Structure 1
Amino acid sequence: MYIPPRYEMTERGEALALMRAYPFAFFVLNGEGAPEAAHLPFLTEEEDGRLYLRAHMARANPLSEALEQGARALVIFQGPHGYISPAWTDDPKMVPTWNYQAVHAYGPVRTIDGKDRCLDLLARMTAQFEEARPDPWRMDGLEPGWKARLLEATAMFEMEVERLEAKTKLSQDKAGERGTAILEGLAREGADPELMAAMRAALKER
């Protein structure tokens, strides 16, 4: 990923926070003749100083075969993003652009085997996405026979992250009144509140 120095997200904790806040990511592997991708929710977990991404996909997905071969993968996390119009400022040199935050994670993938390990991963993933609900759903409610069939039809895997690249392009070069004007333009046109919050923080730091 091309990252000019002013847009580099240098704090590892900030990158991990974005990965956890936007866990639905692009999972990319080299296929036959061309890259192939899947759209999957990921758990971002740290263990003994190492970073792991864990997920699962249907065994019917052709990408699941590559998991068995120890392939190397790229996982792309996309944070808040939005179009930025020059019409919002008085800058005669400004052109249309796109603000965004993203993290790229690279590393080798391997399957997760064993009934207990697979059930534990599913339980952790379910808990992550259910915890904010007033009445969280639990896997304990699944009929045992159906649960066994689901495990057979699911390929679970993990990637140990060897390299992280993180970018936060949020109009850091538009300080003062022009930065304020961009934020006001976004607000008028109903932009993503998360993008606006990230931009406010970035512009305040300048």
Structure 2
Amino acid sequence: MYDIPVFKTQDSQKVIDFISKHPFAMLIGSNDTNEPVATQVPMFLEFENDRAYLRGHLMKHTTHYQAFEKNPQVLVIFQGPQTYVSATWYQNPHSASTWNYMSVHCKGNIKFLGQESLESILQQTTLHFENGNHDSPTVFNNLPKDYKDRLMKAIVSFEIEVTNMEHVFKLSQNQDAKSFQNIISELKKGDSQAQEIAEEMEKLKK
């Protein structure tokens, strides 16, 4: 990950908010023979006693589950909007084009939890993505008992104590004011991700 101060924020709350907005993350590790494994799952960041934890659930009896049992060290990547930035939009177009993006990397150790924690995480997850609608039939507590019992045999909850958190919010902060504004104008003509990057760039001007 880039360790360039200009592409970072000093406001830790913005990093926390980013994770909350983009909870579907890449969970990466390796097995006991150093073969890489990865899976994508939603996770929630929570703080307890000044420590940060990522919590979620995944399928049992898979290569990544077996790998994480053997080697608990993991990397979690939260990825936000990303888009190409053409150097033709700079005041000096005779330079390298680039890519603007937002990403947070968390490192830590994964630990699998028991059934009570699994029920809590499944309720939290379903309620979150059903926009807090407790009456939704797909919220975990509203599912039929026999279905829940079968479901819980196939999955396991986990928590990751975060030992390191880094981020890159690369939003053309290294460009001059005129080029910066022109990049925003051009990105607004692009797809949804380009437009979202333009919105994030505009926030830097406030």
TM-score, structure 1 normalization: 0.90
Aligned mates of 1:70, 1:92 — CA distance in 2: 47
Deviation of the 1:197 alpha carbon: 1.2
Corresponding residue for 1:161?
A: 162
Partner of 2:119: 119
Of 186-195 and 21-30, the range deviating more from structure 2:
186-195
Structure 1 residues 14-29: aligned runs within 5 Å: 14-29=14-29
1:199 equivalent to 2:201? Answer yes
Pair 1:61 & 2:73 matched: no
Could you tell me the percent identity over the aligned residues?
30
1:36 aligned residue: 37
Q: 1:56·1:156 contact (CA, 8 Å) conserved in 2?
A: yes
Q: TM-score, normalised by structure 2?
A: 0.90
Secondary structure of 1:68's aligned partner: helix
Structure 2: stretches of 5+ with no match in the other structure: none
1:5-16 to 2 correspondence within 5 Å?
Answer: 5-16=5-16
1:52 counterpart residue number: 53
Shift of 1:190: 3.3
Contact map agreement 2:110 2:160 (CA 8 A) in 1:
yes
In 2, Cα distance between equivalents of 1:176 and 1:132: 42
Distance 1:123 1:117, change over 3 A: same
After the TM superposition, which parts of structure 1 deviate over 4 Å for at least 4 consecutive aligned residues?
Answer: 132-135
Could you say if the C-alpha distance between residues 61 and 171 of structure 1 is closer, same or farther in structure 2, counting changes exceeding 3 Å? same
> Contact 1:70/1:110 (CA < 8 Å) preserved in 2?
no
State the Cα deviation string for residues 120-148 of structure 1 (Å, max 9, x = none).
Answer: 11101111111167964422321211111
Q: For the residues of structure 1 that align with 2:181 and 2:60, how far apart are their CA atoms? A: 49
Q: Does 1:182 align with 2:183?
A: yes
Trace 1:72-151 onto structure 2 (pairs within 5 A).
72-113=73-114, 115-131=115-131, 136=136, 137-151=138-152
How far apart, CA to CA, are the structure 2 residues paired with 1:189 and 1:4? 27
What root-mean-square deviation, in Å, do the aligned CA atoms of Structure 1 and Structure 2 show?
Answer: 1.9
Alpha-carbon distance between aligned partners in 1 of 2:17 and 2:93, rounded to the nearest angstrom: 36
What's the CA shift string for 1:148-170, capped at 9, x where partnerless?
11111102111010110011110
- 8 Å Cα contact 1:67/1:111 also seen in 2: no
Distance 2:34 2:110 in 1: 20
Q: Please state whether the residue corresponding to 1:188 is helix, strand or coil.
A: coil
Per-residue CA deviation, residues 30-89 of structure 1 (Å, 9 max, x unaligned), is: 133432111111111112211110111111321112333461100001111111012223
Q: Structure 1 unaligned runs (5+)? A: none
Select between 129-138 and 154-163 the one with higher mean Cα deviation. Answer: 129-138
